[in-house]
């Protein structure tokens, strides 16, 4: 059977919690499969653990929720140690305004205005269970982490939401305006997406 994944990621996007299913006729104990496969994988890919599942399990369609983290580096001078997994932002952002704007996305909504072409044709209603914004330090650089969990995501939905939050942090978009954009269901009226390198799939729940 072909490899099945919990979700796809764009070029430049990372994953620390991707889930994959495969079947293989082998006698290797399940707990030893990561070590056996990691010897042959590219150094950018590592299997952390393996477990047996039922034949009808599908990592994408059986998922209850997915969680992504988007990281924005706020340092005035970029840190080369994090440039591959955090998007640099040299302008000041109003984090309180971003948190207020973020509440417009939480809950069950029609997210047609926050998808890009290529989303599955099974409707555009999704439930965002939580959206948190926190400030932290990574390798001594100030970083803003935007963590979002939903039952499922449309294509580039997370990057589009983050793009809107950044615009809100610059004082150019309010919560009420985001709600109006969501109601309009027109992607062309919404802000552009955030760059891919700051995004990481961190957990899939079953």
Q: Which residues are catalytic?
A: 10
| Distance separating alpha carbons of residues 33 and 12, to the nearest angstrom | 27
CA–CA gap between residue 165 and residue 4 (Å, rounded): 32
In what helix (H) or strand (E) does residue 35 lie, and over which residues does it extend? helix 33-38
Helix (H) or strand (E) holding 135: strand 125-138
Measured between alpha carbons, how far apart are the two ends of the chain, in Å? Answer: 22
In angstroms, the CA 184 to CA 124 distance is: 13
- Non-local (6+) Cβ contacts of 206 within 8 A are 62, 63, 64
Burial 158-169 (b: 16+ CB within 10 A, else e): bbbbbbbbbbbb
């Amino acid at each position: 059977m072909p490899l099945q994944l919990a979700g796809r990621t764009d070029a430049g996007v990372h994953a620390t919690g991707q889930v994959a299913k495969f079947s293989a006729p082998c006698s290797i104990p399940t707990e030893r499969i990561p070590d056996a496969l990691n010897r042959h994988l590219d150094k950018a890919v590592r299997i952390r653990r393996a477990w047996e599942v039922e034949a009808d399990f599908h990592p994408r369609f059986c998922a209850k929720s997915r969680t992504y983290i988007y990281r924005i580096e706020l340092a005035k001078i970029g840190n080369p140690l994090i440039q591959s997994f955090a998007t640099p932002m040299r302008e000041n952002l109003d984090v309180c305004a971003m948190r207020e704007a973020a509440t417009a996305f939480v809950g069950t909504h029609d997210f047609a205005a926050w998808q890009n072409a290529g989303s599955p044709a099974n409707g555009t209603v999704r439930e965002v269970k939580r959206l948190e914004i926190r400030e932290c330090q990574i390798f001594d650089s100030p970083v803003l982490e935007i963590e979002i969990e939903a039952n499922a995501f449309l294509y580039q939905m997370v990057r589009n939401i983050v793009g809107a939050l950044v615009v809100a942090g610059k004082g150019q978009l309010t919560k009420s305006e985001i709600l109006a954009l969501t109601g309009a269901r027109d992607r062309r009226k919404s802000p552009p997406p955030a760059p891919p390198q700051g995004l990481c799939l961190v957990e899939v729940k079953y």
